[in-house]
Structure formats: structure tokens, C-alpha cells
Structure 1
Amino acid sequence: MNKRYFNEIINGDETNHSVNYYKSIDWNQIEDGLDKATWEKLTSQFWLDTRIPVSNDRNDWRMLSPEERDVVNKAFVGLTLLDTLQSEEGANVMRNDVRTQHEEAVLNNILFMESVHAKSYSTIFISLNTSNEIDKIFEWGNNNESIQYKAKRINEIYQNGSPLQKKIASVFLESFLFYSGFYAPLWYLGNNKLENVAEIIKLIIRDESVHGTYLGYKFQLGFNELPETEANELKDWMYELLFDLMKNEEKFTEAVYSQVGWTHDVKTFVKYNANKALQNLGFEAFYKDGMPENVNPIVMNGISTESSNHDFFSQVGNSYLMGESEAMDEDDYDF
């Protein structure tokens, strides 16, 4: 249980941390500077889907083939399910294992933004599809074996795993499993189509890059405290989970993207992001064919979260965000 709820001594320091019952959070006394930096990063880049004029992409949408529209819809309903899981379980279950009060505040922010992400896909659906089409899309997603498998696999860890296993599962979801769904809008952005849809995706990617990096850092703090035997056992468990999720992700990729001939490129992109997830957790990249130079350059360019729209009253891009936040870079978090 969380110590601050009881008449206990916090961190064994009776002089500075004596608590009668409930400890007030003090942002002037920071135990981990990354908590404050991440809070400021996330709050500065706050956004809402209602500010992006997705309906402006209707002409582009009508010009896509039925197969292309099917790919986008299936990719997005898969993303919707994963973000729903993150908003209802992901950050929530990790709040019981925080190292600092400020970490819990960051997790609260992550929890809310995952709900914003999940809602954003509904904004895209209603802007581009009929109500009947949307019902069919959700029916497909709620019963697709590959989508449901990864949700079940991750949630079982959330409910029954150790604190470090939960962080591994969350980083894999945030930094790896989302990206098969992100491929399609990034590809269309690189071909000057669906620019407002892609604007939302880029905002989501920007959030997820912070979430994955932050939780990976918190994982590393705990992992480095483990005895060698426990650390090796956890590492073996992590790779078993990675291989299982990758096998399922390749199956999902084939089912969604084979109709447009993108399967190979999407699998490469997925492996690239699996490597990024491992690096977030403090491990080396594993997939040799997932190196950056192997990824479609159009899609790699799309990962950049610089604003593609401008605020001219009717069209608001991510440049409207408070603080004009930039995307996370490799060296933003120096572990």
C-alpha cells in the first residue's frame, strides 16, 4: 500500500518527512528530476482532437480505393482498442507501484491522454465513414483474433504481473504494438493525402514517445536494483513476451495490409519500433532487419512531429500547442 496514506515515516527521514496521515505533494521538493521534466513536457504539449479539422480530408478519403479505406479503418480500430486498454488499465495499474508522488501525477496525465487518443479515432471514423460503416468496423475489431490476443496478453500482465513486468508490457504496447496501425496514415502523409488524419496520429506518436521513454526509465531504476539471477530471469521473460507479441503482430499485419501489398514494409517498421521499445527499457536492439535504413523513408519522415498545418482560424495544426513543444529525441532522457 502507498505509504503516504498512513501515520508512517516516509523514506525513514523523521525530521523532514514525518506524516500524520496523508502526505501533500510538494513540487518544490523533487525526488526524481525526470518526474518534473516529464510532467512539464506532457502538459506543454496538451491537445484535443476537436482542434484538428479531419473533415477536410474527405476528398482524399473518397479518392482512396475500397481496399485502402479498409486498411485505414482496420488499422485505426486496432489502435482504438489498445488505447482503450491503456486508458482503463495501463497507467492505472502502475499507480500502485510508484516510487514518488510525482510519478503518480505523471501517470494520471498519461491515463487521461490515452483517453484522448482513444476518442480521437472516433473523431476520424465519424468524419470519414457512415454510422453503419463505423458499426461494422468496431464489430470487426472487437472480434478480430489478433487484436484481441494482444489486448488479452498485455492485460493479463497488468492484472497479474510484477511491477517490472507491467512496465515491460506497457512499454511494448506504447513503443511497439501501436506502430503497425500508425504505418498507414504516415505513408499517406508522405504522399500528401489525409494530412489532418496524420496530424492527429503525429500528436499521438509524440505523446507515446514520452510515455514509452518515461516508463522505460522507471523500469530501468527497478531492474538495476535486482539481484543478477532475478534480472536474468526477468530478461528471459521479456524476450519470450517480445517473440510472442511479434508473432501475433506479423499475423495482424498480414491480415490488414496484404490487400495493398504493404506487408513486408509494415513488418520492417514494426521491428524497428520493437527495437525502440527494447532501447527504452535499456537493452540493445534485437531485430537486424529493423534498422532505420531498412524502413520506408516516406514513413520515417512522417514520424517527425513538426506541424504540418497552421492556425488560420479554420485549420489548427499542432503548432497551436502551448509552449510549441518538440518531439522527443534520443538524448532527451539521459539515463
Structure 2
Amino acid sequence: MDQAYHIPVLAGELIEALQVKPDGVYTDCTFGGGGHSRAILSQLNNAGKLIAFDQDQDARLNVPDDPRIIFVPHNFRHLQKFLRLHKIETVDGIIADLGVSSHQFDEATRGFSTRFDESLLDMRMDQRQELTAAAIINSYTEQQLHKMFEQYGEVTNAKTLAKTIVQQRQLVSIKSVNEFKNAVSSVVKGNPNKYFAQVFQALRITVNDEMGSLREMLQQLPSLLKKGGRIAIITFHSIEDRMVKLFFRNGSFEETATDSLYGTKPDSPFLIITKKPILPSTAEITANPRSRSAKLRVAERK
């Protein structure tokens, strides 16, 4: 694994929670630098198997030369489809680390980071797809932009920002990080770094349909996990965390109120292992500041 590519977050806690069986079949939905995958492989014997997914073609370079691993270069929303292609119906455990890899942030040409002014507004995790951040900035309606920044970035002045973008794109080119920053500089609120981090987060989530992918993946879990199999998911912001928490609790994305009089509870297919999410230690945050917002939730198939 290339440590510079991505430092695995909550690796020890995740492996402990997964309770890896030496001859089990496991899936890593977000291979990245391969840190979590290698930790699983270290627990498997020769009969064990790991299927690793990653839609970013750069991740393929990190795949170890190990006959126990199968690499699938696609988004984890296609989990069941590709497991079946490999003659796998059910697995003993599934992990997903929903953070953007350090490599993606640090690779200037990918346009994920606000640090590289000259880079194009790209943000595609899968370079095969059409939609880029620049396309969203230049084609979304004011209403669509407003909703996106409000919902996925929790940007305080999302409405003003959307209006400014629509006005500015008629006057100037907005294709690079720098052009975008200049175009909206008059409406930046508070700390510019924090502000643009939230704006870029909203763009990245939309470009890669991260919420749609997560929703589709979660819906496949009940039929993919063996009884007693575990799912461990690391999230990095509140929207993802709410989705995961809700699905583990209810087996759906509907908020189901518990009826205290009749004792009705949602019939979830999962037993929740982590009543509260596991957070990184102070030592881990010091060593890897990007881990500070990570939350690990674990559930077991009933």
C-alpha cells in the first residue's frame, strides 16, 4: 500500500468490529490505497477471499499481488451485480470508507482541492463519466445550485452563492478553481478555506452522485450479508452518517417512530453493534488530521 496515497482511517477499530473469519469472504467497497483491504487479508487464510471495489482507475496501482483478492474497477452501487459475476451470492462482511482519498485531494489535476488554483473543476472519481464540477457550475439552474449547496455543503448563504454563479458565468469563464474562486469572491462568508471546503464538498457529492450510490449500496446489504455477517461503514459528514444510521436502525430510509404504547419497532434486518459511532483517537487525529470527522458504524445481519 502507498501510505502517501491514503492513510486508512480507524483501521484497527474497523478490523476488530468486523470479526474476520479466516476462511471468510469479504468485500471492501472503497479500496483506495488498500490499507483496510490489507488489514483484512492479514486475517484471512488461503481459503479466504476479498473482493475490492474502486471506481478510480488510480486505485488499481495499489492492488497487491495476492491470489485471494479480486479487484473490481467500478462503483460500489453495482455490488451485487459484480459479486454475482464472480459467482458470489453472499459474503461474511462488507466495509466502506466513504472519505475521499488523500491521493485525490493531493492530485492537482483532479480538481478536488481548493489549494490548486490552476486545476480544472473536474472532481470525477470515475474518469469515465461525463459530468464534471465545471459542467454543474455552468449548466445547473439557480434553484438547482441553491439546493445543492444548501443540502450537501450546508453553505450558509447558498441562495446568494447560486445567484452570483448564474450572474457571473454569463460574464466570465468558470472552468478552473481560480476562475470559480474569483467569480464568487464577493459573497464568501467567514473563513474562506472553510467556506470553499463546504462548497467543494457539495460539488463533489453531486458530481459523483455519492448519496445515490450509498443508498443503492445500503439497499443491497440485507440480501448480500450472511446471517451474522457484519457491515462497517466510515462516514465523514452528517448526511451520510444519518443515512447509514437510519438504514441500520430501520432497514429503510424512512423515519419510523417507535410506538411506546404498542411497543412497535421498525423490523430492521440488522442488529446494531455500535450504539454510538466509533470516533478516531486523539493520537490518530494528530497523526492524520483528515480523520477528525470520521465516524464508524457497525451492524450485524440478524
The question of a shared fold, defined as TM-score above 0.5 by the shorter chain, is answered with no
- Bigger share in helix: 1
- Bigger share in strand: 2
TM-score after normalising by structure 1: 0.28
